[in-house]
Amino acid sequence: MRFLPHTGSDRQAMLDSIGVSGMHDLFADIPSEFHVEKGSLKLADALSEAGIVRKFTRAAEKNHNASNSRYFLGGGTYHHFVPAAVDYVISRGEFLTAYTPYQPEISQGTLQALFEFQTMIARLTGMDVSNASMYEAATATAEAALMARRVTRKSRVLMAGSVNPRYRAVTANYLSRLDGEYAEVDMGAFGTDLDKVIAAMDEQTACVIVQYPDFYGSVYDLAPLHAACDANRCLMVVAFSDISAFALIESPGAMGADIAVGSGQSLGIPMGFGGPHLGLFTCKQKYVRQMPGRVCGMTSDANGKRGFVLTLSTREQHIRREKATSNICSNQGLMCTAAATYMTLMGDAGLATVARHSAAALQSLVSQLPAHVSAAAGAHYNETVLSFAGYAARERFLLATRNHDMFAGIPLEQIEAGVDTRHLLVATTEMIEEADITDFLAALEVSL
Amino acid sequence: MTIPADLKYTKEHEWVRIEGDTATFGISDHAQEALGDIVFVELPEIGRTVDAGEAYAVVESVKAVSDVYAPVAGEIIEVNNALEGESELVNTDPYGAGWIAKVKIGEGSAELLSDHEYNTFLEE
């Protein structure tokens, strides 16, 4: 049976009601040359299914993507290897749901996977507790700002200018509907001077948000900032983009973060044109009741057997109503399971290998740069900013790399409005081999 | 259900014991009974100033989560840290070991009821 919601006379009644004579009038704003009249398209005859597959396979083979080229793009999404077993595990019928299960009696497997996910994320970030995920890093950052306001009962939020512009924009948007000041600290071009952030802090500041490694890949000691935060009774929120970093460098928790939020996409989740991502949210134990989102807990049933349940639900909307810690009442269950599977497969040693290779590739690239291209100063993990003599030099290089199956970097102005058009944000992962770096460096010759 | 005569009460079912310039806060026997088993009490920070009628603590039971409002304004000078491990004290001894916080009394007070008035209020 066809689904016919409106009859011809229904439509006519609606058209009469808004005072137009026919459907055609509804499209009057679109220039007539863009109107397609029925039967005016000169389409070829229909193809067979096999013919269509052949045609589109040929067309798709012309696409350049991360898997058939050398890929140096980061900026919040990273091209790490995803073992085939991850997809196999999350595709199983027992796990294949995007929803967090409410009924522990039928969902022990999923709940246990989420609990293990939380445990592993807490260990990797060095934090006490993790929730069972947010959607992505930008909204997780905004939620961290809201949580810091609840914990401190203060309203001012201070954001370092070296945080990913998208995390900043989403946080600013969330806070724009609330009382209280939101301020960003201008760090200068790829600046890492945290004293600027410390100077902007005051007694009204609920939290300071920094990214580590920052948007430009810089790594620096957060201890002085942490001390200043404590002196102002203000929380230190640490955002991150590529969590693989913490298998190698000091974790946010070890640096004294009160809340650490970021992306878990690096943990076995394909880039997928930007989604679905996985947002991570962790904090100190003493703040757990102000944390947003789902939390899985381990308990025992009436017979004393171990079991897993959703816990601390009294923070959440369906119980606490308008006083809930957050509007978020769902999570990325399937992506959590993917991340848990990935971390389990890799283990401590595997993650450390990924991190070492990712960092070593950047180190190798930067150490061999010709004199006419400079890299941002200071320590970096797997991402940095390369600066060219000018826009034209950078574009010559980008064209040369495109012709050699290489995505060499993100023109910084595409993500960060207003910066010079001669910078390139370049990221490396374990997918970059020494030969790729050699080719990258060779292509730089055209930018002289 | 008990309603001690030496305390004052609010219509939100809190009690207050006023001694000199100090006031001790808790929730009434009726409140703890209505809430059921208390599993967590979120205590205020020492030094925080609360207005009369402002939520200064949160009591979480197996049934519900409720804000607890200050009967009189003041500065929090002491909290009952025993509740962090033994929140059930609010159930077993609401007027004694189950107290929640002490304040140095400031300006302002919610409508305070005597034991008789509170009893009448409960019966209505």
CA-based nearest distance A315→chain B, Å: 9
Contacts 24+ apart (CB under 8 A), A67-70: A68/A405, A69/A405, A69/A406, A69/A407, A70/A404, A70/A405, A70/A406, A70/A407, A70/A432, A70/A436, A70/A439, A70/A440
Which residues on chain A are in Cβ contact (under 8 Å) with B67? 323
Q: What is the pLDDT of residues A344-361, one digit of tens each?
A: 999 999 999 999 999 999
Q: Is residue A269 part of a domain?
A: yes
Q: Are A334 and A319 in contact (CB under 8 A)?
A: no
pLDDT at A24: 86
Secondary structure (DSSP) of B46-76: TT-EE-TT-EEEEEEESS-EEEEE-SEEEEE
pLDDT at A98: 59
Query: Global pTM?
Result: 0.86
Q: What is the CATH number of domain B8-109?
A: 2.40.50.100
Tell me: do A199 and A75 sit in the same domain: no
pLDDT at A255: 96
Q: Are A276 and A269 in contact (CB under 8 A)?
A: yes
Spatial separation of the C-alpha atoms in residues A244 and A250, rounded to whole Å: 11
Q: Is residue A195 part of a domain?
A: yes
pLDDT at A37: 82
User: Taking CB atoms and an 8 Å limit, are B67 and A314 in contact across chains?
Assistant: no
pLDDT at B18: 94
Over residues A145-171, the mean pLDDT reads: 96
Nearest CB among A153, A289, A319 relative to B42 is that of: A289
Spatial separation of the C-alpha atoms in residues A347 and A302, rounded to whole Å: 34
Tell me: do A317 and A282 sit in the same domain: yes
Within a 10 A sphere around the Cβ of A241, how many other Cβ atoms? 28
User: Taking CB atoms and an 8 Å limit, are A323 and B67 in contact across chains?
Assistant: yes
Which residues on chain A are in Cβ contact (under 8 Å) with B65? 314, 319-320, 323
The pLDDT of residue A1 is above 70: no
pLDDT per 10-residue tile (average), chain B, 124 residues? 92 95 96 92 93 93 88 96 93 96 94 94 90
Spatial separation of the C-alpha atoms in residues A12 and A17, rounded to whole Å: 8
Q: Is residue A288 part of a domain?
A: yes
- What order of strands is seen across the sheet that includes strand B14-19? B8-9, B14-19, B22-27, B101-109, B72-79, B49-50
Q: Is residue A174 part of a domain?
A: yes
Instruction: Quote the ipTM score.
Output: 0.71
Radius of gyration of chain B (CA): 13
CATH number at residue A438: 3.90.1150.10
Q: What is the pLDDT of residues A171-210, one digit of tens each?
A: 999 999 999 999 999 998 899 999 999 999 999 999 999 9
Tell me: do A74 and A112 sit in the same domain: no
Tell me: do A129 and A221 sit in the same domain: yes
Range of the domain at A214: 84-343
Tell me: do A275 and A325 sit in the same domain: yes
Q: What are phi and psi of A298, to 5 degrees?
A: -105, 135
Tell me: do A231 and A322 sit in the same domain: yes
Q: Is residue A427 part of a domain?
A: yes
CA-based nearest distance B5→chain A, Å: 34
CATH number at residue A282: 3.40.640.10
Which residues on chain B are in Cβ contact (under 8 Å) with A320? 65
Nearest CB among B40, B48, B65 relative to A319 is that of: B65
pLDDT at A230: 95
Nearest CA in chain B to A286: B42
Q: Is residue A33 part of a domain?
A: no
pLDDT at A99: 66
Q: What is the pLDDT of residues A92-111, one digit of tens each?
A: 988 887 566 778 888 899 99
Tell me: do A433 and A288 sit in the same domain: no
| Residue at which a domain ends, from A343, A370, A388 | A343
Question: Is the Cβ of A289 closer than 8 Å to some Cβ of chain B?
Answer: yes
Interface size A-B, in CB pairs within 8 Å, comes to 10
Over residues A419-432, the mean pLDDT reads: 97
CA-based nearest distance B115→chain A, Å: 31
Q: Is residue A366 part of a domain?
A: yes
Two tokens at B96?
Answer: 């004694």
| Residue at which a domain ends, from A343, A378, A395 | A343
Which residues on chain A are in Cβ contact (under 8 Å) with B42? 289
Residue A317 — very low, low, confident or very high, per pLDDT cuts 50/70/90? confident
Two tokens at A338?
Answer: 């993917």
Q: Is residue A95 part of a domain?
A: yes
| Residue at which a domain ends, from A343, A373, A404 | A343
Please state the domain count of chain A. Answer: 2
Two tokens at A66?
Answer: 């991360």
Spatial separation of the C-alpha atoms in residues A382 and A358, rounded to whole Å: 6
Which residues on chain B are in Cβ contact (under 8 Å) with A286? none
What is the distance, to the nearest Å, from the Cα of residue A31 to the centroid of all Cα atoms in its chain?
A: 39
